[in-house]
Amino acid sequence: MSRKITIEPVTRVEGHGKVTIHMDDLGNVTQSRLHIVEFRGFERFVQGRPYWEAPVLVQRLCGICPVSHHLAAAKALDVIVGAGTGDGLSPTGEKMRRLMHYGQMFQSHSLHFFHLSAPDFLFGIDGDPAVRNIIGIALTRPELAVQGVMMRKFGQEIIRATAGKKIHGTGAIPGGINKHLTLEEKNEFLHGADPLNADKMVNWASEAIEFFKNYYAANKSFIENFAHFPSNHLSLVRKDGALDLYHGVLRAVDAEGKKVLNDVDYQEYNQYIEEEVRPWSYMKFPYLKHLGKEKGWYRVGPLARLNTADFIPTPLAQKEFEAFKALTHGKPNNHCLLTHYARLIETLHAAEMIRELLNDDDLLKGELVVKGTKQKEGVGLIEAPRGTLFHHYRINDHDQIEMANLIVSTTNNNEPMNRSVNFVAKEIMTGKDVITEGMMNAVEVAIRAYDPCLSCATHALGKMPLEITLVNSENQVIDRKRSFS
């Protein structure tokens, strides 16, 4: 009898999702799919609201990455208020926003590594789930747990200082920012008591890379053979090709490194990107129009960004970038699990950028807001922790939003996440009579590498236990168990 295995929801990712694995009578995996229910209600919700409210309203989408939505919306509205397309702000406006963004990147990446990924590395993906979590880390490697907590806290404090408050931050406004950094805040972040200062964060970010490198060296074969497949990679890059997480042009490269989207203006993103609807999933599948659905899908996020960028404009991260690129002789890296390595290099870059920005006096004084001739439409793109985030708004004559379109990072990664699940399921489940917790976790390890934010993608509140259901081809439940929770 053929079987269908359902993992619901996926553990340790934001929100919740469901993985279905179909097996035939011989135990072969025939098909695997990641299901995410996506509601497009938010775009409708903002219609009719005054455009200047959008940077605050969009934070309702998600309590995990509100800063990314806040900044992407503000960037789109910069265009509408005539402040240019991301590079027309005052030095103070742009640098304060960048500080906010790198704070967000730093805390999000740190949380992902120490809370979600490190347990798999420390205890093994088939390790005891009772200890394969940050509580287990706190018991066995308390210094790492403290590091994770403090790195997250430092990033959160940067956000609070730049966005104004933790909930519904108001820092970024159309055309700029609404406050300066105070001298006290600057000094606290630069020279605060150990460990909460920028130098310590740079050191810890470097140490986290060493931690991963050691794991990689000891598990090279596993990492390189886990969910590896060629793909296109898409991200913003600075006009000179540097890694830039806040602003730039849109670039995509194929699996061999050939540019398939050559540094285009993202205001025209809908000339290049299409979203496909598939009947079995509410979440759309974006692809590059000119390459078509079959060949045009792409990855976004840390791995994609290190594949599209030519260099990293901070010294320590650049050194790590060179080592990372050497692994694949300069070609794009298509190893799913090395996304963690890329994420940690970005964490180091974010820490370096935070330190560099804090030493810039433009944060303390100068013009906050720039405005020009009002436009009716604007697009804001940002490299959110999980990947490229698109916000697109059009307003009417009454300054009300009449159209909004959001493509969130997790939606951009829909196809590669599905391919990763399928790859891993076939590798480890084919021919097996018993599906162990370790096997289930391996599927989830593949998904977690993308750090999907299902709350953003689904716009739903996510809070469910892990439940695994085994169903036969006639949709009869033959087994159901609740995994460790």
Partner 1 sequence: MPEKGKILVYGYGNPGRQDDGLGAAFISRLEQWIAENHFQHVDTDTNYQLNIEDAAAIHPYDEVVFVDASVEDIHDFDFSEVKPDNAKVEFTMHAVSPAFVIDLCRKIYGKSPKARLLHIKGYEWEFEERLTPQACDNLDKAFDFLINYLKTND
- Nearest-angstrom CA–CA distance, 417 and 33: 9
Distances (CA, A) of 50 to 17, 41, 47: 33, 18, 9
Contact call for residues 119 and 148 (beta carbons, < 8 A): no
| Least gap, CB of 15 to partner 1 (angstroms) | 6
Question: Using the rule CB under 8 A, is 485 a contact of partner 1?
Answer: yes
| Least gap, CB of 57 to partner 1 (angstroms) | 7
| Least gap, CB of 97 to partner 1 (angstroms) | 20
| Least gap, CB of 105 to partner 1 (angstroms) | 15
| Least gap, CB of 47 to partner 1 (angstroms) | 12
Interactions with partner 1, residue window 237-276 (CB under 8 A): none
Work out whether strand 467-472 and strand 3-8 pair parallel, antiparallel, or are unpaired: antiparallel
Nearest to 452 by CA among 425, 483, 421, 423: 421
Closer Cβ to partner 1, 67 or 249, answer by number: 67
SS3 95: helix
* Angle 344-159-54 from CA coordinates, rounded to 5°: 110
| Least gap, CB of 482 to partner 1 (angstroms) | 11
Question: Using the rule CB under 8 A, is 14 a contact of partner 1?
Answer: yes
The residue within the footprint of partner 1, chosen from 25, 26, 41, 329 (CB under 8 A), is: 41
Contact call for residues 42 and 50 (beta carbons, < 8 A): no
DSSP string of 413-424?
A: THHHHHHHHHHH
According to DSSP, residue 228 is labeled B
- Nearest-angstrom CA–CA distance, 442 and 432: 14
Question: Using the rule CB under 8 A, is 204 a contact of partner 1?
Answer: no
- Reported residue count of the chain is 485
- Nearest-angstrom CA–CA distance, 26 and 18: 24
Interactions with partner 1, residue window 133-152 (CB under 8 A): 133-135, 138-139, 142, 145-146, 148-150, 152
Binding mask 65-94 for partner 1 (x = CB under 8 A): -x----------------------------
Number of H helices, E strands in the chain: 18, 16
| Least gap, CB of 146 to partner 1 (angstroms) | 6
Tokens 């509100």 appear where? 66
Question: Using the rule CB under 8 A, is 45 a contact of partner 1?
Answer: yes
Nearest to 320 by CA among 343, 291, 289: 343
Bridge partners for 480 per DSSP: 469
Question: Using the rule CB under 8 A, is 286 a contact of partner 1?
Answer: no
The residue within the footprint of partner 1, chosen from 26, 167, 217, 326 (CB under 8 A), is: 167
The residue within the footprint of partner 1, chosen from 36, 76, 116, 198 (CB under 8 A), is: 116
Question: Using the rule CB under 8 A, is 106 a contact of partner 1?
Answer: no
* Angle 96-97-103 from CA coordinates, rounded to 5°: 90
- Nearest-angstrom CA–CA distance, 236 and 418: 23
| Least gap, CB of 39 to partner 1 (angstroms) | 10
Closer Cβ to partner 1, 64 or 370, answer by number: 64
According to DSSP, residue 115 is labeled I
| Least gap, CB of 10 to partner 1 (angstroms) | 8
Nearest to 80 by CA among 406, 407, 395: 395
The residue within the footprint of partner 1, chosen from 111, 237, 306, 440 (CB under 8 A), is: 111
Binding mask 453-472 for partner 1 (x = CB under 8 A): --x---x-xxx-xx------
The residue within the footprint of partner 1, chosen from 35, 60, 180, 376 (CB under 8 A), is: 60
- Nearest-angstrom CA–CA distance, 320 and 322: 5
- Nearest-angstrom CA–CA distance, 73 and 168: 13
- Nearest-angstrom CA–CA distance, 481 and 369: 56
- Nearest-angstrom CA–CA distance, 163 and 158: 8
Interface region with partner 1, contact rule CB under 8 A, candidates 14-22, 215-223, 267-275, 311-319: 14-22
Interactions with partner 1, residue window 351-410 (CB under 8 A): none
Question: Using the rule CB under 8 A, is 114 a contact of partner 1?
Answer: yes
| Least gap, CB of 286 to partner 1 (angstroms) | 23
Question: Using the rule CB under 8 A, is 35 a contact of partner 1?
Answer: no
Structure-token pair, residue 284? 């759309």
Closer Cβ to partner 1, 149 or 369, answer by number: 149
The residue within the footprint of partner 1, chosen from 7, 21, 64, 316 (CB under 8 A), is: 64
Question: Using the rule CB under 8 A, is 312 a contact of partner 1?
Answer: no
- Nearest-angstrom CA–CA distance, 331 and 110: 27
| Least gap, CB of 117 to partner 1 (angstroms) | 12
Residues near partner 1, by CB under 8 A: 9, 11-16, 41-42, 45, 57, 59-60, 63-64, 66, 111, 114-116, 133-135, 138-139, 142, 145-146, 148-150, 152-153, 156, 166-168, 455, 459, 461-463, 465-466, 484-485
